[in-house]
Amino acid sequence: VNKPIASHPLQNSTPPAVETTAGLSRRALAAEGQPISFLMHKALAHPELVSLAAGFVDPVTLPVELTRQAFEVVLSDPRRARAALQYGTTPGHAPLREAVLDRLLEADGQGHLVEGAVRKRSVEQVVMTAGSNQMLRLLFDTLVDAGDIVLTAAPTYFVVLGMLGNIGARGFGIEVDEGGLVPDALEAALLRLKRSGELSRVKALYVVSYLDNPRNITIDAARRGQIVDIVKRYSSVRHPIRIIEDAAYRELRYGGEDVPSLLSYDLEGDTVIHTDTFSKAYSPGVRVGWGVLPRDLVEPLLNQKGNIDFGSPNLAQHLMAAVLESGLHGTHVEALRRAYSEKCTAMLDACDDYLAPISGVSWLRPTGGIYVWLTLPEQLAAGPGGPLFDQALTEGMLYVPGEYCYPSEGVGIAPNTIRLTFAMQTPERIRAGIEALARAIQAVLPADATARVSRSAR
């Protein structure tokens, strides 16, 4: 998945010899074979499969009526309608930028530590994009050159690893545990890179700080300030290191307490970039995301964006502004949380019933989000090259191999891991999918393994 850096098309001066690639740019070659395309192809080719793979949202709770009403509000006022149907500005629709910043301040306003810091941010620092993926890509385009290093949690959101590969950057994995990214491991990695003379190539730490993809873990409140402090200590005026905090799943919490963002611990306002999206808590079809940036990055990022689309779809932003104005978004999120909580319970119950009897299989129990992270016995590789992946297809289900979620440097890949999602399927299909996975594991697990492998703690 993550091609060895030496053979990366952006870093290799020898033109590719293969005939089918003639005429393609190095960037096009670097974009080949991304896991997302492979998995979508599998799902489309086998519509009968129970897909516990794609991170699509629950179709039943999509806000059809609320969206209809919000469109009505936008389109029934000719002045507003014309503004929405016209090109917008590069940074996006100002009332929406204000609204998302206000919501962030409100969510972070619980801790005395965070208040002053967050309120230093202003609407000029908010840029709207076509989904937060676009913001992430713009950030990497703005900060990272081929050969530069981006630290990530290992495992992490695999689409970001694809983006890094596409620009020829090196992903470097940092250890995680049940409290999220481990601060000591972050410090050790930075020290190691400093000693090897590579610190100046480290441009960013990317981390999904709430209910992450793929493990569905939130970084502990106690670690947040430490993480920001460590990065600041290794950052310098000549070689700044930024933290890209991806908060895509923050609102999908149905247990435990919310915690302040990493952004709120950046008292100087020069280190943390906060990205978020309406894709998970409203609708991915609308595809509105955004970033809150340090002041010095706003213009360089807008210059990138100006060269791409000089503004993301304006109608979608007007729509989301009307949704927030309606005051009904919170009610919708409550309904979502209930629906996901039910589906999560269905998946965990099915895991207890079908997977618990298999020795060496363990999983994390989420308190929000849409994923369950599964660890298999060590000798069982879950990737498409191993026996389990095809056996699972034969049994009727599709999962995301965990190995896709590891960068090629730093923490080693754990091939015996799986990301499951419960978002798309009904509780009955979730159960059927887990039952099929259990059959597949049993079919490929060596008969003596059950005796050899001791069951991990849950």
Residue the block writes with tokens 């213009």 = 299
Residue the block writes with tokens 């290799």 = 12
- Residue 330: CB atoms within 10 Å: 11
Identify residues 24-53 at the interface with ligand PLP (CB under 6 A).
none
Element (H, E) at 413: none
Binds ligand PLP by CB under 6 A, chosen from 213, 264, 283, 416: 213
- 289 interacts with ligand PLP by CB under 6 A: yes
Binds ligand PLP by CB under 6 A, chosen from 277, 312, 314, 391: 277
- Residues pairing with 373 in the sheet: 419
- 176 interacts with ligand PLP by CB under 6 A: no
Measured between alpha carbons, how far is 79 from 301 in angstroms, rounded to an integer? 30
* Closest separation in Å from C-beta 282 to ligand PLP: 10
Measured between alpha carbons, how far is 19 from 80 in angstroms, rounded to an integer? 53
* Closest separation in Å from C-beta 246 to ligand PLP: 5
Q: Can you say whether the dihedral through the CA atoms of 190, 194, 197, 201 is positive or negative?
A: positive
Measured between alpha carbons, how far is 166 from 161 in angstroms, rounded to an integer? 8
* Closest separation in Å from C-beta 309 to ligand PLP: 14
The count of residues interacting with ligand PLP (CB under 6 A) is 14
- 180 interacts with ligand PLP by CB under 6 A: no
- 215 interacts with ligand PLP by CB under 6 A: no
Q: Which is nearer to ligand PLP, 40 or 356 (CB)?
A: 40
Cβ-in-10-Å burial (0-12, 13-18, 19+) of 386 comes to middle
- 209 interacts with ligand PLP by CB under 6 A: no
Q: Which stretch binds ligand PLP (CB under 6 A): 60-68, 87-95, 277-285, 381-389?
A: 277-285
Measured between alpha carbons, how far is 11 from 7 in angstroms, rounded to an integer? 7
- 337 interacts with ligand PLP by CB under 6 A: no
Q: How far is CA 183 from CA 30, 179, 205, 228, in A?
A: 32, 10, 12, 9
- 312 interacts with ligand PLP by CB under 6 A: no
- 157 interacts with ligand PLP by CB under 6 A: yes
Binds ligand PLP by CB under 6 A, chosen from 9, 55, 155, 383: 55
Binds ligand PLP by CB under 6 A, chosen from 118, 176, 186, 208: 208
My answer on whether omega of the bond before 300 falls inside 30° of 0, hence cis, is no
Q: Which is nearer to ligand PLP, 108 or 246 (CB)?
A: 246
Residues 6+ away with beta carbon under 8 Å from 87: 310, 311, 314
Q: Which is nearer to ligand PLP, 208 or 397 (CB)?
A: 208
Contact in structure between 279 and 109 (CB atoms under 8 Å): no
Residue facing ligand PLP at closest CB distance: 131
- 248 interacts with ligand PLP by CB under 6 A: yes
Q: Which stretch binds ligand PLP (CB under 6 A): 16-24, 127-135, 173-181, 222-230?
A: 127-135
- 243 interacts with ligand PLP by CB under 6 A: no
Q: Which is nearer to ligand PLP, 323 or 380 (CB)?
A: 323
- 320 interacts with ligand PLP by CB under 6 A: no
Identify residues 404-443 at the interface with ligand PLP (CB under 6 A).
none
* Closest separation in Å from C-beta 99 to ligand PLP: 17
- Opening angle at CA 55, ends 153 and 381, nearest 5: 60
DSSP string across 106-151:
HHHTTSHHHHHHHHT--GGGEEEESHHHHHHHHHHHHH--TT-EEE
Measured between alpha carbons, how far is 243 from 240 in angstroms, rounded to an integer? 10
Residues shown for the chain: 458
Contact residues toward ligand PLP (CB under 6 A) are 55, 131-133, 157, 208, 213, 246, 248, 277, 279, 284, 287, 289
